[in-house]
Amino acid sequence: MTPPDLRVHLLLFRLGQARFAVLASQIETLRAHDASGPARWCHALLGFPAAPSYRAPTEALVSGTWIVLDAMEELLDIPLEAIRPFPDLVEPFSLRRGLWGILPNQGQLIFLVDLQQMVKPDTILQPDPVAHSKLV
């Protein structure tokens, strides 16, 4: 059983219709999006097939890299046991995208993303990885 004091602090944000959360401890600072800056777009890091429309783009500094997130929603303090792993069939694919858990919240599913892992040079993904390889 998880010790009751094992809690995580999450920052929630949206990308298009999907909701995500990142450990607040991974974000060094936030700033308004600077279109001329060298920031990486979160949807591209996650492998979205197309760019969603960003309503309130904000940059988060993670391991020295600025990442553009959208629509910061709230901070949540939750027990670790509230987080579910991805189902077995999905987990190998989701982990490749830095998605490591799911938080069911008010009838919705929020995907937990490891932004530090995503900005490591050796884990930045190309737009079309092996996702369809099993069908070929």
Partner 1 sequence: MPPSEQPAVGARLLEEVKALRLDQDVAEVAEEWVKIVLFRAGSGRYAFYGHNIREILSGNEIYWVPGLPEFLPGLINVRGDIESVIDIQCLLGEPRAGAGEPGLIAMAVGKNFRSGIMVDAVEDVVDIPVSSIHPPLITLGEGVGDLVAGQIQLGKSLIPLLDIEKLQGRVTL
Instruction: Tell me how far, at minimum, the Cβ of 27 lies from partner 1, in Å.
Output: 20
Query: What is the DSSP secondary-structure string of 84-115?
Result: BPPPTTTHHHHHHTTEEEEEEETTEEEEEE-H
Closest distance between partner 1 and the C-beta of residue 1, in Å? 18
Task: Tell me the pairing of strands 18-23 and 108-113.
Answer: parallel
Nearer to partner 1, 64 or 87 (CB): 87
Chain residues in the site for partner 1 (CB under 8 A): 17-18, 46-48, 84, 86-90, 92-94, 96-97, 99, 102, 104, 107, 109, 111, 125, 129, 131-135
Spatial separation of the C-alpha atoms in residues 120 and 56, rounded to whole Å: 25
C-beta of 3 vs 107, nearer to partner 1 = 107
